Structure 1
């Protein structure tokens, strides 16, 4: 981690910045509760926020920490103790597995919240600009320190493994990535073939070469399958970029396949038992899809 002297030098931090922040201290105290409430409203955009804020006890403790951090921004005391607290924030976020994106986007919200206060409560235009610049500095310094703590903690974890373990992990990661690329290639090929087949059947339908009723249902069913393949392809692309793989996509594909089969069988009255079995199977997979979706949102 960089020294306090380096940080101040690189961000051109000076006594004027401390003074500007302290000017906003009284306003910050008045709006500390509103800050936490608004920030928690913002957290609702993260679908899996409950994975990190699991119960009311954790939420209350977290709110208290947020409020304390918010007020300390306006103390203007950029010293070793302040840097140490920011480092612990980064370390703790790594320990609970919080994605850095959540931290960065939340910091952007904090910046907008504070800047709106400065704009609203500061009358003098020149003073307003100076305070806003100091706000940007202290928030960027916080983000810099916390991000650095993220990297150091993750690097320590990596160094904790032996050389053989590292080679094994890197080899497995390479194989896994190759498999993902292969799946994406196959899915792309299937999507092209499926789209071509739908177009071919549609042309036959328009030209009157096939039965309108059965062909229309087959086209509808195949469109569902094509849509499911598209969703799986998008999910694989996200996975290649580092996102976790969602199981609900596979349940969705199974549902699409069963619906397609039901559409086709519905043309044959004698297959009512098979239709009933497929209906029960569709209900079962639908329940599984609902459960997976609910779990992944936590």
Structure 2
């Protein structure tokens, strides 16, 4: 199964797209019953239904179709939603709904959504934004459901594919658990550093103003480093791309902190001081180059 990180990257799904889906929910929910009725009218006119589609099954499928319609515009695009789409693909196999039938009705659904957006949104710019977001989510739905359909079909004939999917699934779950452990540890360190800083302020208040300011600043730098790592890890779990510049920046801040402390306390040899200055210069150059590369790469994603 594909995970939300991969889907966000592949389809360039943004927060703006989520807001657009929620915006459409306000008027699209009014057409839920109409959508289901017209969906079946068109489907029956274009293709014979499988023998497995009895009246009870059709009623059940209509209810499930209405649920899918409502969830489409909720804007809750996460791993749980992708798992829901995978189950839809598996359900199609269960009721002998062929992939050709699915493709035909997906195309009709896209056009139906397109028409309703045109009917309800008069502003050209806003309508264009909504259409882009709608097409993105339709492509995601079609991709995940089709992938689940074909994967399940192939598994009937390939034991190795089932084993491969099992190994990948276990590995991805272990990776997710590891990220949660790292996130929890970073939260603990950030809170501990903040509490320690508050207690340290009391001691620093008794020292000279220049010593107090620089020591407090160095402690704040460490808190900033931890908060930046925490922010980065949260974004990675949410699906953002791994940013090398963050970790280069962390190393750069660590050397800057050492330089501040050495300058204040007049400790350390000249060689060590020059080494730190050289390290700051090199890391600063690397940070600048990496940041430029990430900025240029962003529009392509």
TM-score by length of 2: 0.51
Which SS does the other structure have where 1:115 is aligned? Answer: coil
Pairing 1:115-154 to 2, within 5 Å after superposition: 115-117=122-124, 142=135, 145-152=138-145, 154=147
What are the ranges of 5 or more consecutive residues in structure 2 without an aligned counterpart?
Answer: 1-34, 43-103, 155-159
For residue 271 of structure 1, what is the aligned residue in structure 2? 269
Aligned match for 2:253, one of 232, 239, 256: 256
Answering whether residue 294 of structure 2 is matched by residue 296 of structure 1, we say: yes
Hey, what's the Cα distance between the residues in 2 that align with 1:141 and 1:174?
30
Name the CA shift for 1:118/1:177 in 2 (closer, same or farther; >3 Å): closer
> Post-superposition shift, 1:157?
8.1
Which SS does the other structure have where 2:239 is aligned? Answer: coil
Higher RCO, Cα 8 Å, sep 6+: 2
> Post-superposition shift, 1:275?
1.8
Name the CA shift for 1:157/1:203 in 2 (closer, same or farther; >3 Å): farther
> Post-superposition shift, 1:269?
6.5
State the number of aligned residues.
190
For residue 228 of structure 2, what is the aligned residue in structure 1? 231
- The answer to whether the 8 Å contact 2:262/2:268 transfers is no
What are the ranges of 5 or more consecutive residues in structure 1 without an aligned counterpart?
Answer: 1-5, 14-79, 88-106, 120-131
Pairing 1:49-128 to 2, within 5 Å after superposition: 83=107, 115-117=122-124
For residue 184 of structure 2, what is the aligned residue in structure 1? 185
Name the CA shift for 1:240/1:225 in 2 (closer, same or farther; >3 Å): same
Pairing 1:194-205 to 2, within 5 Å after superposition: 194-205=193-204
Hey, what's the Cα distance between the residues in 2 that align with 1:140 and 1:265?
54
Name the CA shift for 1:138/1:258 in 2 (closer, same or farther; >3 Å): closer
- The answer to whether the 8 Å contact 2:186/2:226 transfers is yes
Name the CA shift for 1:173/1:270 in 2 (closer, same or farther; >3 Å): closer
> Post-superposition shift, 1:180?
0.8
